[in-house]
Structure 1
Amino acid sequence: MREVYIVDYVRTPFSRSRPKKPEKDVFHKIRGDELAKIVLDRIVEKAGISKEIVERIVMGCAFGVWENWAYGGRGISLLAEYPVETATMITDMQCGSSIASAQTASLEIMAGVCDVAIAGGYEHMTRVPMGMENQHISPNFRLIQDERYKKYEMNIGFVMGLTAERLFQEAKNITKEDLDEWGLRSHRLAYESLKSGYFRGEITPISAEQADGSVIVVESDQSIRGDTTLEQISNLPPVFMPNGVITAGNSSPLNAGASALLLMSAEKVKELGLEPLAKIKAFGYSGVHPAVMGKGPVPASKKAVEKANLKLSDIDYWEINEAFAIVTLYAVHELGIEPERVNVHGGAIAIGHPLGATGARLIGTLARTLREKEADYGVATACIGGGQGIAMVIERV
């Protein structure tokens, strides 16, 4: 199997989505596939290559319906004016969609099917909402109503916030205060990274028309709150159940955005004289019970690290998606990770979680972190609605 390298990484800023008040989303006039077009344009420009050498585009989207439907990915590549010969595909693994797209593209390069691929994802949670707010999806409610499927507890599994509440109930030695403190940590680390200019290394600014007709340049993630306090977070009410612990302060918000990774074989990297960010070492995925989908990163990460012939103690830095603080803290406890090595530039609670775009952001930010810290190995991992986990191990080069 051939080696695969992450040559470059870009993303849009992540807006704050407002399905019921769309005018409050700075990207409310930009479609999701147009956000994807922006990163497909920018990734080759940033790397200094032509679109003609890209053989494969694999993009992830958790809700690929309505405007997000992309004709098998073809609509996006044509919007970005890639050659008609460039083959495309859309993947759906919910919150792990663009880690899955990176895995798919990597396997094709490893197998010699292609040498140059772009993997990423997009989501617009204002224009195409998630869950029951989306009139264009229709879950099969037999999974709830039919007695033979009751064992999956999809009355909980279909509602991500309820799965987080269940995980909290099952977790040991994790308190509501821990969740809120992790939420505050996420905002503080992200705000420090924003102010230091760190995110400029991955974000491409976007000119966006607003509701009043004005045009603003969006250069940073819109959900980061540098002035929030622990008291403010702690006083937020539970969202999903009375007397619950899951609040807006310890959960990721709704967002819109896109991300992309440029992947190449070792031979192509050498031929073009490029300096890659990292090498893809291994990946893994796992199924868990749908009612505790937040457990997914634990078995998936163990599998990926084992496939890389490493130990958990060999991993220098982690990007564990903060769909909910309980997911990240559960993984930290179960995997025995030092918190100081996790989400060092903030996580999804602050940066945002546009579902299909998140995985490539985790991988790309991790690759940049390894270079910044001169560290060797990292793991990017996410939980997945429906009861799954996905993980990727990368190595600094």
Structure 2
Amino acid sequence: MREAVIVSTARTPIGKAYRGAFNATTAPALGAHAIKNAAERAKVDLEEIEDVVMGCALQQGTAFQNVARQSALRAGFPIGVSGMSLDRQCASGMMAIATAAKQVIVDNMTVAIGGGVESISTNQTNDMFVRPDPWLLANLPETYMQMIETAEIVGERYKVSRERQDEYALQSQQRTHAAQQAGKFDDEIVPLASVMKFVNKETGESSDVDVNLDKDEGNRPETTLEGLAGLKPVFKGGQKVKEGKYITAGNASQLSDGASAAVVMEAKEASKRGLSPLGVYRGIAVAGTHPDEMGIGPVYAVPRLLEKHGLKIDDIGLWEL
């Protein structure tokens, strides 16, 4: 049976949405940087790539009209290299890699690229156009519930206290800082020069600033538990949550701009080329939950995946959630 292996990865640094280095960088520009460098690291000729699959949530703004194909064109890939864009919200990039792997296994492709891109800065703007479905709005309005409200609901429903959330946020800040200091992310990041839109808070005037980002933005190593505890919840006036109790500017994840890509190759071909796989694709499982909660999908999807492969939780050496 054919196997699909990941032979290279590359990603942009993560920029802070709206105020970061990539706040004026388009989604195709971010995607192109990732897929081009991933291909170069795998030492594959661009003509060999049979498909570029990219995940992207809320595909509008600069991510409209098949951002995967646009990224491939911007990266200088031959016209004959196709592209497909997927949207499974937060799991979009992972789904794209799984799809690329299945194309290698089932459709006899030799080389494909899977990855993800998100440009919050150029997507979720004041010009963003949405029109809810009337039936869903009347019968299941939670379909359109804001993510921050779903987080409030999860905290309440699963009894994840504000204190535990603050502690977890602090640990995340500390781990990120330690990893950056130790250079843990350096091999996966390819620095990207861009033009940042800077707005003077006093005058309101905007200007362009040349920047070259080589590490993820947003980490605050000076964060303390006391500081987090002193922040007030920011959400109110939701469908179900009238006054938030949990989510603050300190324990919520930031909005970001960036892209990542992985070159997926048929295993025997990779061996023939002397490429050492970074990983082997074994499978994927998905599960739906009620629209009023987020982040709970893996609780149901993981057992499905393990069962399909005759595995138990203890059989897995490293989990990333």
How do residues 106-185 of structure 1 correspond to structure 2 at under 5 angstroms? Answer: 106-129=101-124, 133=126, 135-144=128-137, 146=138, 149=139, 152-154=140-142, 158-172=145-159, 174-185=160-171
**Which residue identity is paired with 1:158?**
M
Flag the structure with higher helix content. 1
CA shift, 1:153, in A, is 4.8
CA deviation string 1:45-95 (max 9, x = no partner): 122222121111101110211211144632221111112221210001111
What's the offset of the Cα at 1:119?
0.3
Q: What is the aligned partner in structure 1 of residue 273 from structure 2?
A: 272
Q: Which amino acid aligns with 2:317?
A: D
Query: What is the TM-score of this pair, normalised by structure 1?
Result: 0.73
Residue 347 of structure 1 aligns with which residue? none
Q: Match of 1:266, as an amino acid?
A: A
Q: What is the one-letter code of the residue matched to 1:314? A: D
State the 1:233 CA deviation. Answer: 1.5
- What is the letter of the counterpart of residue 15 of structure 1? G
Distance change >3 Å, CA 243–CA 158, structure 1 → 2: closer
Structure showing greater radius of gyration is 2
**Helix, strand or coil for the counterpart of 1:126?**
helix
The C-alpha deviation readout for 1:256-284, integer Å capped at 9, x for no partner, is 00010111111211221101111112210
Code of the residue aligned with 2:133 in structure 1: it is N
Question: How far did 1:216 drift?
Answer: 2.2
AA in 1 matched with 2:149: L
Following the alignment from structure 2 to structure 1, what is the Cα–Cα distance between the partners of residues 295 and 7? Answer: 30
> What are the superposed Cα offsets for residues 169-201 of structure 1, whole Å, 9 maximum, x if unpaired?
2114x3211110000111110110001111101
Number of equivalenced pairs: 306
Q: Which amino acid letter does the alignment assign opposite residue 135 of structure 2?
A: R
Normalised by the size of structure 2, how large is the TM-score? 0.90
Residue 74 of structure 2 corresponds to residue 79 of structure 1:
yes
Q: Which amino acid aligns with 2:219?
A: I
Distance 1:111 1:83 in 2: 24
Partner of 2:3: 3
Is residue 208 of structure 1 aligned with residue 194 of structure 2?
yes
Q: Which residue is 1:295 aligned to?
A: 296
Q: Secondary structure at the match of 2:221?
A: coil
The letter for the 2-side match of 1:169 is E
Kept in 2: contact 1:2–1:112 (CA 8 A): no
CA distance in 1 between partners of 2:130 and 2:269 (Å): 41
Structure 2 residues not aligned, in runs of 5+: 199-206, 237-242
Amino acid at match of 1:37: A
In structure 2, the residue matched to 1:91 is 86
Contact 1:206 1:219 survives alignment (8 Å)? yes
CA distance in 2, matches of 1:263, 1:307: 22
Q: In angstroms, what is the RMSD of aligned CA positions? A: 1.8
CA distance 1:300–1:93, shift in 2 (3 Å): same
- 1:302–1:235 Cα change, 3 Å: same
Q: Which has the higher contact order (CA 8 A, sep 6+)?
A: 2
Does residue 196 (structure 1) correspond to residue 191 (structure 2)? The answer is no
Alignment partners' CA distance in 1, 2:82 and 2:28: 17
* Structure 1: stretches of 5+ with no match in the other structure: 19-23, 321-397
The answer for the alignment partner of 1:244 in structure 2 is 245
**Matched residues in 2 for 1:143 and 1:289: separation?**
13
Percent sequence identity over aligned pairs: 32
Deviation, 1:142, is 3.3
1:306 aligns with 2:294: no
Which residue type is aligned with residue 174 of structure 2?
Answer: R
Partner amino acid for 2:64? W
Q: Which amino acid aligns with 2:157?
A: E
